[in-house]
Chains A and B, each alone.
Chain A
């Protein structure tokens, strides 16, 4: 570790790093998004010919991560492709558009914050859309990553912010997945068990968010079974109660013949498209971010650090625990409903111990008590898992070893205990860090 630290500090102090930092320190988030969009457009237009020239059969789906292990000889070419298609356009355009982006960001601040935020999100979605619709694999992967972000964030509310060790998230996801699926299949699909659709199918896509909401609410209702015992018990006993809950839910659906029992339940309509998932995930991120920065969110931290002291400081610990569990379960349920409609198949065994390990790994890899950490954890874990896919069974050994190393060297995760301030993200960067320091020093 010391070696890495030394190497990093050497890099940080080097002239090149200083110049790079200076060159890009004024680029606002808006500029990076413009760069990303431009890169995606460029890839869309010249990606295929370039990949042919570089001797690849197809465009590298995941920045070359996906093919690095199966075609090691192509690594230099893939790397070159990534530099030409992503790194150079993003950096160059971000740098060139800096004055424009700053002026735009400053102008947007004349409006309420949400206007600026929506502009940012639209740009982000546009870039992702351009990038994703080069191939089905990218779309599916992006959908799964977005859903993973929701699950990770919602688990972080309980495990990170409230400091419990909850193992119930697969159960919540299962509840959400099954209830949303039953809703859509019952109302909008001709099914052998549920019969003819009760409502005309054209209404389906409009009522689909309602289905997800019902999934979330059912799952939040299920969370009562964990939240109420959590008043009296904490730590290991709560972990076991939540684990028992996951087992019970799984076993419940295995025995419920009307939704297929252990064979699973299929026939969900294909309504979970990328824009919808993006919108819901962004809503989830924003709402959870606002929640954890609110008074109630700070109460979660108080309960985690010292329940008695929190109670003495007039924090209603019961209400706090109840809200945290229900809120967390709601988003897990929504994510489960989306997952069911992306895969268009649910099976009780999906929501077992293995799912639990995966979700826990994403939360603890990314970092506790941090929205950014959860996003990083979910994205990083999924990309890692896709990149190592050619190793087949050995993949899980590599992932497990990496996670053990992360835990040993950074026990709370990569980006832990950091607040995400949306206002800081959307504002223009008119001053570099050096200038700020300079002003501070002179005054």
Chain B
């Protein structure tokens, strides 16, 4: 039981990274019908932005120029990083996706992949290959409840991730901007006729997705405090798998599938040797997709829909 609960905690944390990143894939998909393959690297860049912003803030705080309590440091870091990464997402949309709105979707996939490579190698060229350690933003407290080790950072990461997802859900369901996103997902041809600029909606969606990826990047940095330029590749592709698994374009589906992927990976690694983690995890996904080819919440691919 303790073993199980312990791994549930791990899986929730690990899954929240996937879920936050998968949301970005899913939102972009729902409005533009394409996957932003640079998203994993936006996550990486967000993590680096978080590293620099938090280092600067911690530095200011320690030297006494701007003494702030640690919770405020964390909040400011998250806020600034999300804003900075949102701008990056907007630039990516403008450079790599908007010129290709009418092109075949595979071409946009290629530009996305290439933007990802530019971000990785640009980072490598600018900052060098050494790994960087995240500064400690909040002190980790460890509690032992019924044999299960619970750290304060882990609880915080899970809580903040869920908070962000709920906030996104409310934004999309309750605000006018959210309504515009939903309208574009429903019919992007009619949307401009209603006086809504589809370009600004696309930019906003990229910004939102990138901001969520940035949050995931900070949380990842807090949980596993080592950064390297290629860290976004694998986690990004896996989040992409989660986004598909949830059903393309489905936001609750992406969140759920992100957590599910976290659970599968953590439990496979806990029960079997950790080297076979990917093997078993992806075999499970392959089986799921064979029997439910449109994911959990997606619409089935059907002949009638395309007429």
Contacts and interface: CB of A to CB of B under 8 A. Distances in A.
Q: Chain B: interface residue count, which band?
A: 35 or more
B42 to A, nearest CB: 15
A357 B117 contact: yes
B289 A411 contact: no
A411 B34 CA distance: 15
Nearest to B122: A397
Contact of B275 (A255, A307, A368): A255
Q: Which of A159, A239, A250, A411 has the most CB of B within 10 A?
A: A411
Contacts of A396: 117-118, 120-121
Contact of A159 (B106, B120, B282): B106
Contacts of B293: 229, 232-233, 237
Interface in A216-252: 225, 228-229, 232-237, 239-241, 243-245, 247-248, 250-252
B125 interface: yes
Given A394-B121, A396-B121, A407 B244 contact: no
Given A255-B276, A408-B99, A240 B289 contact: yes
A397 B123 CA distance: 10
A235 B113 contact: no
A61 interface: no
Contact of B111 (A252, A255, A407): A407
Q: Which of A237, A262, A399 has the most CB of B within 10 A?
A: A237
Contact of A243 (B117, B118, B120, B241): B241
Contacts of A232: 290, 293, 301
A408 B110 contact: no
A251 B276 contact: yes
A393 interface: yes
B125 A394 contact: yes
Contacts of A353: 233-234, 237
A165 interface: yes
A404 B111 contact: yes
Contacts of A252: 279
B289 A393 contact: no
Contacts of B241: 240, 243-244
Nearest to B109: A165
B113 A361 contact: yes
Nearest to A393: B125
B245 to A, nearest CB: 8
Contacts of B95: 404
A248 B283 contact: yes
Given A396-B121, A397-B121, A407-B103, A244 B286 contact: yes
A97 interface: no
- Classify the secondary structure of A's interface with B: helix
A412 B237 contact: no
Interface residues of A, number: 46
A364 B110 contact: yes
Interface string B62-78: 00000000000000000
A368 B103 CA distance: 13
A396 B108 CA distance: 18
Interface string A75-115: 00000000000000000000000000000000000000000
Contacts of A247: 237, 278, 282
Q: Which of B277, B278, B282, B307 has the most CB of A within 10 A?
A: B282
Contact of B110 (A225, A239, A255, A360): A360
B301 A357 contact: no
B19 to A, nearest CB: 17
Interface in A159-183: 159, 165
Interface string B258-291: 0000000000000000011111001101100110
A403 interface: yes
B106 A408 contact: no
Contacts of A234: 301
Given A308-B307, A399-B114, 14 more contacts: A233-B294, A241-B286, A241-B289, A244-B241, A245-B282, A251-B276, A251-B277, A307-B303, A397-B118, A403-B110, A403-B111, A404-B111, A407-B100, A411-B103
16 contacts: A159-B106, A240-B240, A241-B289, A244-B289, A248-B278, A251-B276, A308-B306, A353-B233, A357-B113, A357-B117, A360-B110, A360-B113, A401-B118, A403-B110, A407-B107, A408-B99
Interface of A: 159, 165, 225, 228-229, 232-237, 239-241, 243-245, 247-248, 250-252, 254-255, 262, 307-308, 353, 357, 360-361, 364, 368, 393-394, 396-397, 399-401, 403-404, 407-408, 411-412
